[in-house]
Chains A and B, each alone.
Chain A
Amino acid sequence: MTVSSTRPGAGADRPRAREPISRGSDWDFELIREYDRHIAEIAADFGLDTYPNQIEVISSEQMMDAYSSVGMPLGYHHWSYGKQFLQTQQGYQRGQMGLAYEIVINSNPCIAYLMEENTITMQALVIAHACYGHNSFFKNNYLFRSWTDASAIIDYLVFAREYVTRCEQKYGVEAVEQVLDSCHAIQNYGVDRYKRPSPISAAEEANRQAEREEYLQQQLNLLWRTIPVSEEKQQQRERRRFPQEPQENLLYFIEKHAPIMPTWQREIVRIVRKMAQYFYPQRQTQVMNEGWATFWHYTIMNELYDRGLVTDGFMMEFLDNHAKVVFQPPFDAPYYSGINPYALGFAMFRDLRRICEDPDDEDREWFPDIAGSDWLKTLHFAMENFKDESFIQQYLSPRVIRDFHFFAIFDQEESLEYEVAAIHDGRGYQRIRQMLGNQYNLASREPNLQVVDVDVEGDRSLTLHHVRDNNKPLNEDADEVLKHLRRLWSFDVHLYSFDNEQVIKEYHCTEEGLHHGAEGEDPQKFL
């Protein structure tokens, strides 16, 4: 991408001679287009590279619909979305919560929803935030570029929905629901973390599907062949090891290797897996994505004001909303619920700009490469090439740590006390940066589960290992999840939870149910 060489931001010195685009808070379509035109102009001046925008004005009911289908414009039917809807509706109608100002979809064209109840100020804010902030992030961040295909997602959603509906007609709603329930339980394990996926495309998907059905069946038949082998041969042969390497992508493994799963179910597993893959980058870039969008709506709104396009009243309303969005309650506030990604991301991008434009000695020491550099280039580079974990480890500055009064708590299970491991001082900066980055590392946020063995020639049972991170056990849901896993696999499932190569806990899910006692072979043998 190219970064514009004309420098915006000089508007502050210009006389504010122009007539503002609008006064008052009402909006109409012409006005939205007008604002969008000006915002697009400013965004282009700052070098934001975006997909075309499809801005859709919707009512609050429609917003609730969009909300409850995880922000997808269309999805397959499932009761859990109905539950989500009821929850949203309840909260909204009783005034317990407001609806999000915006939902934006990583597609090409990029779809953003504006709620009709909003004032024109809010509409402009949402356009700047979603249609130019998030949009440029979707288009340029490396995770999104390698994991999602924005131009194909809508088609794929249509394909998925139709396929699921067809299955419902053919096999009954309940049967489909069961498979979906089970898939949802392990949908966070539907990604190859270290392998790039092939982009999804609906047309190809439909074409290849029939082919896949046949091929799969053949493969399976080979793997599960029951024709007896002569005893002599059997003894000579080493027990076949399958899979040869541990597999972290449970959904993929089931889709390809579940012994007796009908093909339509494999297809559904695949659909859930592809959805999980689509959301995979979003789960890893919350701070960056929201920070980037917030940084740009802030910058663009101020630029609009500097160019004399909006009134003081407009700015007051905007700033009020902005302040709410980036508010970070302290840890001991009753409504504290973790670090606000908007606040942290916004602060980091703002500080990054400051380091470029107005560095002090500390910045020069911590960021010798970027202190005093071209801020636009630096910010774009940061946006394009990092995810939350690495972004924080690379760019979290001592100043931001001080501003947030970050401190690190070390919680040891056997100790009766927490220990304050680091605070915002010279000795703590590096440590906090490291720990906070790690906090956003998906691999440490989610337990590490891997398929290590299938008893191909025996009872076809599936064995998984859980390698504990800092001796953290699995939560109570694990039992239920394992039952879902067994339903998909159709044969017994064993899970061993390890810490330091010691089995701490065992889970055995058989036809009779689930128990935690020791069983069968030595679990260590696959280590």
Chain B
Amino acid sequence: MINSYVIDRRLNGKNKSAVNRRRFLDRYRKHVKAAVNNAVNKRSITDMEKGESISIPGKDLHEPVVGHGQGGNRELVHPGNREFVEGDRIRKPQAGQGQGKGNQASKDGEGLDDFTFYISQDEFLEFLFDDLALPNMVRKDLKKSQEFERHRAGYSTEGVPANINVVRSLKNAHARRIALGGSKKRRLREIEAQLAKMKGTSETTERKRSKLEAEAAELRLKLRKLPFIDDFDLRYNRHEQHPVPSSAAVMFCLMDVSGSMTQNTKDIAKRFFLLLYLFLRRNYQTIEVVFIRHHTSAKEVDEEEFFYSRETGGTIVSSALRLMQDIIRDRYPTAAWNIYAAQASDGDNWGDDSPVCRELLMNEIMPKVNYYSYIEISPRDHQDLWYAYEDVQAQYREAFAMAQILDQAEIYPVFRELFQRREAA
């Protein structure tokens, strides 16, 4: 009697816990978000594509259960006695604490440490995009790492039924039938011709005729057994994945670091740059990032200095634009590079500098860049710079976007046009 059944379950889904995991993340959204935010501020903007370790204080996710607390009288049996005899007295470790002995202590102590786990890259970006209020379509777009295109690439002998190439397969079948049946058909025709010519009913003729007829019957049978189409006739359309040819892009980050820019403003700006970076990475294989910060004079710096060093003083935006222009001329010829620029500022500018900026942008920079986006992170009324930029936007509707924002959820609209344009292309 067989009483056991062995079943291979390995092919069943392994993600039975996915829903529960999701529920958990939802419940502790606040914690996860805080950790993600923290990570965004700490990481380089070119380093967003990995998971993150999330820590949640154990007491926050403790599930309460009634049990005995410390105190009272208790008797416990332990193993491994070496030197004790009945009646021995041992000092308690801490007055009245009674810790360190047996189950009780470990039970009460459990779960108070931080609970740490990892979220994947996808989840990390998901939480990040949540804050940025990205539409789903765009999220999906940004998370894809490399673009492939399928190209027809001849035929193959293996494939899925949907890809059968009918004409090819029938041609093959026809060829096979000719190859395997040709000689037999020829012989059959000969025999038929002979039989038709044969006359008289003499015994030798009869014998010859019946012999020929037998051979003919056998040939016909063989011919009939030739399948019309066979497995190895089948041909399938073959496709190959070709990575989409992509070229290089350079991204300019321009930021005002004058005294009026607070760390909070800079953090918002960072997300703005980050988003542009993620978008570019999706479209270009190599991306270089140039950080230019400016107050009254501009300077090319590394990321750390860009976001976190503090400066004071006035603001001359055109200094940054000039530097950008120089760098483009020296290092990024427009023939080889797609150029993107993102500028963040609180809107301050030296009084008579704004017209200079306008001219620079209109005449020198805009003709060279694919896209220029500008955000003004400020609750105040617009100043000269904004109006100067509006002129630029009027002329370069396709390639210039600007917006005034107060918090990070408002960054995305700046990009909307850019994304839409890419979708359409």
Residues of A within 8 A of B (CB): 29, 32-33, 36, 40, 50, 52-59, 61-62, 64-66, 68-69, 74, 77-87, 89-90, 109, 113, 116, 131, 173, 177, 181, 184-186, 188-189, 328-333, 336-339, 404-413, 415-425, 427-428, 432, 435-436, 438-439, 445-447, 449, 468-481, 484
- Do the beta carbons of A79 and B80 come within 8 Å of each other? no
Contacts A54-B7, A57-B7, A473-B68 given; indicate if A439 touches B92 (C-beta within 8 A): no
User: Distance (Å) between the CB of B24 and the closest chain A CB?
Assistant: 3
How many residues on the B side are at the interface (Cβ–Cβ under 8 A)? 65
Asked if B84 and A420 sit within 8 Å, CB to CB, the answer is yes
Q: Chain A residues near B3: list those with CB within 8 A.
A: 40, 50, 52-53
Q: Which of A61, A185, A438 contacts B14 (CB 8 A)?
A: A61
Q: Are A413 and B20 in contact (CB under 8 A)?
A: no
Q: CA A441 – CA B12 in complex, angstroms?
A: 40
B280 to chain A, nearest CB (A): 33
By DSSP majority rule, is chain A's interface helix, strand, loop, or mixed? Answer: mixed
Contacts of B101 in A (CB 8 A): 331, 409, 411, 418
Q: Cα distance A189–B116 when bound, in Å?
A: 31
**In the complex, what's the smallest C-beta–C-beta distance from A127 to chain B, in angstroms?**
8
A329–B91 touching, CB < 8 Å: no
Tell me whether B64 and A62 are in contact (CB under 8 A): no
A83 B72 Cβ-Cβ under 8 A? no
Do A131 and B75 touch across chains, with their CB atoms under 8 A apart? no
Interface pair A420/B86, CB less than 8 Å apart: yes
Q: Are A416 and B91 within 8 A (Cβ)?
A: yes
Asked if B86 and A427 sit within 8 Å, CB to CB, the answer is yes
Task: Please report the number of residue pairs spanning A and B whose Cβ atoms sit closer than 8 angstroms.
Answer: 276
B137 in the interface (beta carbon within 8 A): no
User: In the complex, A409 Cα to B106 Cα: how many Å?
Assistant: 17
User: In angstroms, how far is the closest chain B Cβ from the Cβ of A90?
Assistant: 5
Residues A83 and B73 in contact, CB atoms below 8 Å apart = no
Q: Is the CB of B108 within 8 A of A331?
A: no
* Extra inter-chain contacts (18) besides given A184-B63, A185-B63, A470-B74, CB under 8 Å: A33-B4, A55-B6, A62-B10, A74-B16, A77-B19, A77-B20, A79-B20, A85-B20, A85-B24, A86-B115, A89-B117, A408-B77, A410-B75, A411-B73, A412-B73, A418-B92, A424-B81, A484-B64
B85 and A62 form a contact (CB under 8 A): no
- Are the CB atoms of B86 and A82 closer together than 8 Å? no
B69 located at the interface, meaning its Cβ lies under 8 Å from any Cβ of chain A in the complex: yes
Chain A residue with the shortest CB-CB distance to B53: A90
Tell me the bound Cα distance from A76 to B92 in angstroms.
45
Query: How far, in angstroms, from A78 to B27 measured CA to CA in the complex?
Result: 10
Which one, A55, A68, A449, contacts B17 given CB within 8 A? Answer: A68
CB distance from A190 to the nearest CB of B (A): 12
User: Contact at A33–B6, with CB atoms within 8 Å?
Assistant: yes
Residues in chain A near residue B96, CB distance under 8 A: 413, 416
Q: Is B9 a contact of A58 with CB atoms below 8 Å?
A: yes
Closest to A112 in B: B4
User: Once the chains bind, are B14 and A188 in contact (CB under 8 Å)?
Assistant: no
Complex CA–CA separation, A299 to B90 (angstroms): 41
**CA separation between A449 and B90, bound complex, in Å?**
33
A337-B106 contact in complex given A62-B14, A420-B88, C-beta closer than 8 Å: yes
Q: Is B65 an interface residue (CB 8 A)?
A: yes
CA of A504 to CA of B19, assembled, Å: 44
The distance from the CB of A490 to the nearest CB of chain B, in whole angstroms, is: 19
User: 3 nearest interchain CB pairs?
Assistant: A330-B80, A82-B24, A472-B72
Q: Mark B1-45, 1 if CB is under 8 A from A, else 0.
A: 001111111101011110111111111000000000000000000
A and B contact pairs by CB, cutoff 8 A, 29 listed = A54-B4, A55-B6, A66-B16, A69-B20, A77-B20, A83-B24, A85-B24, A113-B9, A337-B106, A410-B75, A413-B98, A416-B95, A417-B92, A420-B86, A421-B75, A421-B86, A423-B85, A435-B76, A436-B77, A439-B75, A446-B66, A447-B67, A471-B71, A472-B72, A472-B74, A475-B67, A477-B66, A479-B64, A484-B64
Chain B residues lying within 8 Å of A74, measured Cβ to Cβ, are 16
CB-CB under 8 A from B72, the residues of chain A are: 413, 468-473
Query: In the complex, what residue of chain B is closest to A422 when comparing beta carbons?
Result: B86
B74 partner residues in chain A, CB cutoff 8 A = 410-411, 470, 472
Q: A416: which B residues are within 8 A, CB to CB?
A: 91-92, 95-96
Q: Which residues of chain B come closer than 8 Å to A54, judged between CB atoms? A: 4-5, 7
By the criterion CB–CB under 8 Å, are A59 and B14 in contact?
yes
The verdict on A407 contacting B63 (CB below 8 Å), with A53-B4, A85-B21, A338-B103 known, is no
Q: B228 within 8 Å of A by Cβ?
A: no
The answer on a CB contact under 8 Å between A474 and B106 is: no
B24 engages A79 (CB within 8 Å)? yes
Whole-angstrom distance between the alpha carbons of A474 and B80 in the complex? Answer: 30
- Output the nearest chain B residue to A437 by Cβ-Cβ distance: B77
Q: Does B67 lie within 8 Å of A413, measured CB to CB?
A: no
Judged by a CB distance under 8 angstroms, whether B118 is at the interface is yes
